[in-house]
Amino acid sequence: MSTNAISHRTPIQLAAMVVGAVFLLVGILGFIPGITAGAIGFAGMGSHAMLLGVFQVSVLHNIVHVLFGVAGLALGRTAGGAKGFLTWGGAIYLVLFVYGLFFGGDSAGNFVPVNMADNILHLFLGVGMLVIGLALGRNVAAARR
């Protein structure tokens, strides 16, 4: 991508692309031994892998991060797509936070899996993405008129 293409991105597009790039990086790091320690399972509490020794991950969890990252990079190409990614993505992460409150830990419903550190991170991601999407996205609707 040329410097000229980067300079024509709106703040909401840049925010979505940065968030997307971080999700993509975290998803990839979740598969790298040494950064992720422990036996990784496909899904559920059978996965004992810990990203950075703190966040419980599984193959499914990492794939979701990679897909979220790709979505952020792709949707960040337009202001409307970036706003949708940040606001809907934030809402999804808030739902994951609530899910973790009810189905975290040793619950049979914890198929992702999530631990308390994941749950707290999901809360901050959800609120952060939603606030950024709504704050920077105010101008998106006005620009379409």
Structure confidence by residue, pLDDT tens digits, 112-135: 778 888 899 999 999 999 999 999
**Quick check: is 143 in a domain?**
no
**Quick check: is 144 in a domain?**
no
**Quick check: is 116 in a domain?**
yes
**Quick check: is 142 in a domain?**
no
At how many degrees (to 10) do helices 116-144 and 11-29 cross?
150
Nearest to 86 by CA among 5, 140, 26, 145: 140
Q: What stretches of 1-145 show up as alpha helix (H) in DSSP?
A: 3-7, 11-29, 59-75, 79-103, 116-144
- The total number of structural domains that make up the chain: 1
Which residues constitute the domain of residue 75? 3-137
Identify the sign of the CA torsion 26, 124, 95, 113: positive
**Quick check: is 145 in a domain?**
no
**Quick check: is 131 in a domain?**
yes
Which residues have C-beta within 8 Å of that of residue 144, sequence separation ≥ 6?
80
The reported pLDDT for the residue numbered 20 is 98
- The DSSP H or E segment spanning 55 is strand 55-57
Mean pLDDT of the chain: 88
**Quick check: is 97 in a domain?**
yes
Average pLDDT over residues 44-56: 86
The reported pLDDT for the residue numbered 145 is 44
**Quick check: is 127 in a domain?**
yes
